[in-house]
Amino acid sequence: MDNKHIVENIVNLLGSKQNIVSVTNCMTRLRVVVKSEDGVREAELKKAEKVLGLVHDRACSYEVVVGPGNSRTFADICHELGLPAAASESADWKENKAAVKAAQKNTRAKELLKVTGDIFVPLIPGIIAAGLCAGFASLLTQLIPTYQDSPGWYLLHQLLTLINVSFMSYLTAWAGYRAAERFGATPILGGMLGMITSLSNIDTVSQILGLYNADSPLQSILRSGKGGVLAVICGVYFLSIAEKKIRRKMPAGLDIVFTPLLTLLLCSIPYVLLIMPAFGYVSSGIVWVFSRVCMSESAAVRLIAGYAASALFLPLVASGMHHGLVALYTVQLQELGFVTLYPALAMAGAGQVGAAIAIWQKAKRLQHDKLCSVIQGALPAGFLGVGEPLIYGVTLPMGRPFITAGLGAGFGGAFVMLCQVASTTWGPSGLPGAFVMTAGSGGAVNSILMYLIGLCISYVMSYIITKALISDAEVRTALGGIPVEAAGAAAEAEAARRKTVRRGDAIPFPSKTTQCFEYVVKSSSGIHARPAGALSALVSKLGCEVTVKCGEKTASAGSVMELMQLSASQGSRLEVTVCGANAGNAAQALMQFLNDKL
């Protein structure tokens, strides 16, 4: 199918155009908000053409992994089909009442982190462009110290700096605009409140009120930029509440004039006097923590922090808890002018590459052509910093390689944090990420070199650990491969049957049988990561295809991620289907497991 038909198919599997509230995109994913989950056919969507994976970690919100390039192309096609990039005012809380109730199942902390990610995702292209320009400008000044004497190089430096400053100077305005869209306020009002944060008039207000420290402006209770994007997000949230309340009471004929005016007047005063100073201390506290950990004078502290950050980053991504890191990056960038945490986290994707190479070698030796093909197609993207094809296509479905990749990546993270590598932005990783790793200790060239060495360490250590800990049996059964025991038994059975028939007779082959049973979850924790992993490991040994249905959702029991996305809690009824030559015995083993674990 061409791209338009592929997108139309994805839209239909999401419940049709009428079910979709909004469609946006990040570097590798379509981010879709739907009115109802009832019409979404998740099992079919995961198998659709060009779909590499599906993340559903929040009610009525789906992230369809389609890879770099495709994500923006598909989003544009969605917009051409009439699907909005942001929820319209008609899609108010009354229309999405069911979605709001469903969202209450999530923890407030997880929802808050997700909201933060939603605000910053559309800003990522600008963040990357500004950061790359800052990196190139820094590299230029180090490689060509006399650049100012050459009109050409000097002009290039000025243009690069101009692009970077155009974004960084008004970051709070962009964040305010996006926050207003996310909270349902008028976007331009959110942008104006964000713009107020960075204007020099704030210093004048602070001087009038006696809150400005002229001897040490950075120590002022109130100053320009105080609180940064964290203050903006909080301020715009209250602005959205105020605007809606004012609009409800404002006569229609006066709404266009007085609602925006009253909203800004009422919100700007407490925002400048209360929210900005309060979040200024929050931002300072965050930077202080980073300074004591990521930038610690103790090499041991930096080593431990770098290892932990890299090793745990992708599990955070899988659980949907990584969204809040964007706010931390932004705070560091605003307060320090660089980011120290991101270079270590960028090693996590390199760990996936090393683990995938180790698995590919084993798969090639075992003649597992399907697994080899998947890895060969995903590796180039992995080297370029796009890890989703490897994560959702190889390591996460297999289970343990996802862990060994993180363990190996930790060594690279420890190295780059030990060497105090810092970036001018976040977003690019893998080999292209070297161009933004120019703000570290020792200058741009040294910082880039240390980053590349860190990548190599992550590749090698993940390769070694994965090759040592992942068995041939695990590789053979990956992505629906035949277990070693089942393959041997099938060969013996076939040989025996051939001995019992005469020449010219048809050779009978055993047909697959199907067993089905239902089970009600008794555990108060439901299907969380640990039982999902144990169930997946059991299924890989049984040699049968096992699917689990909970309500309208269906999952392959061999996939930890799919099992967790069932959201099966205590009292949920599971419909288990077992297909294979040994379905009867497999069903009994599965029933025993569920009775013991769930």
What is the percentage of the chain residues whose pLDDT exceeds 70?
86
Lowest mean pLDDT among 197-201, 370-374, 483-487: 483-487
Burial class (CB in 10 A: 0-12, 13-18, 19+), 66: buried
Instruction: Indicate if the pLDDT at residue 180 is higher than 80.
Output: yes
pTM reported for the whole predicted model: 0.57
What are residue 32's phi and psi, to 5 degrees? -120, 135
Token representation of residue 464: 């070694």
- Full set of structural domains in the chain with CATH: 3-90 (3.30.1360.60), 170-293 (no CATH), 299-477 (no CATH), 512-597 (3.30.1340.10)
Pick the more confident residue, 67 or 193.
Answer: 193
Residue with the two structure tokens 């305005």: 173
Residue with the two structure tokens 């420890």: 414
Q: Which of 23, 43, 21, 31 is nearest to 565 (CA)?
A: 43
What is the C-alpha to C-alpha distance for residues 554 and 563, in angstroms, rounded to an integer? 8
- Over residues 203-256, the pLDDT tens digits come to 999 999 898 888 877 778 888 888 888 889 899 999 999 998 898 888 877 888
DSSP helix/strand/coil, 184: coil
- Over residues 354-400, the pLDDT tens digits come to 999 999 999 888 888 878 888 887 788 788 877 777 877 788 778 88
DSSP helix/strand/coil, 209: coil
Is residue 26 flagged as an active site residue? yes
- Over residues 92-110, the pLDDT tens digits come to 333 333 433 444 445 566 6
Average pLDDT for 487-511 = 44
Q: How sure is the predictor about 481, in pLDDT bands with cuts at 50, 70 and 90?
A: low
DSSP helix/strand/coil, 301: helix
